[in-house]
Copies of this chain bind each other. A is one copy, B any other.
Amino acid sequence: MRTIERIPTGIPGLDEMIDGGLPFPSLTLVAGDIGSGKATFCMQFLCKGAELKEPGLFFMTFGGPPEWIFKFMSTYEFGEQRYLGNEIKYIDLGECIEAKKQLNEVLEMIRSLILKFQPKRIVMDSLSSIKDVMGDDYKRLLLKFCKMIKDLKIAVLVTGESVPGSPYPIDIAHLADGVILLHNTEVNLSRRRSIEILKMRGTSHPCGKYAIDISTKGLTVYPGLQL
Contact = CB atoms under 8 A, between A and B. Distances in A.
A62 to B, nearest CB: 7
| A interface bracket (residues with beta carbon within 8 Å of B) | 35 or more
A72 B33 CA distance: 29
A116 interface: no
A76 B2 CA distance: 8
A207 interface: yes
Interface stretch (A10-18, A44-52, A63-71, A104-112): A63-71
Nearest to A199: B35
Contacts of A147: 63-65
Given A146-B63, A208-B189, A202 B75 contact: yes
Contacts of A64: 27, 146-147, 150, 177
A191 interface: yes
Interface string A162-178: 01111010100111110
A227 interface: yes
Nearest to A167: B164
Contact of A208 (B27, B175, B190): B190
A190 B209 contact: yes
Given A126-B174, A190-B207, A143 B94 contact: yes
B34 A2 contact: no
Contacts of A193: 207
B190 A65 contact: no
A82 interface: no
9 contacts: A1-B77, A23-B72, A35-B179, A63-B142, A71-B202, A72-B201, A94-B140, A190-B207, A191-B207
Interface of A: 1-4, 23, 27, 33-35, 39, 61-65, 68-69, 71-77, 79, 81, 94, 98, 126, 128, 132, 139-140, 142-143, 146-147, 150-151, 161, 163-166, 168, 170, 173-177, 179, 184, 189-191, 193, 198-199, 201-204, 207-209, 215-216, 226-227
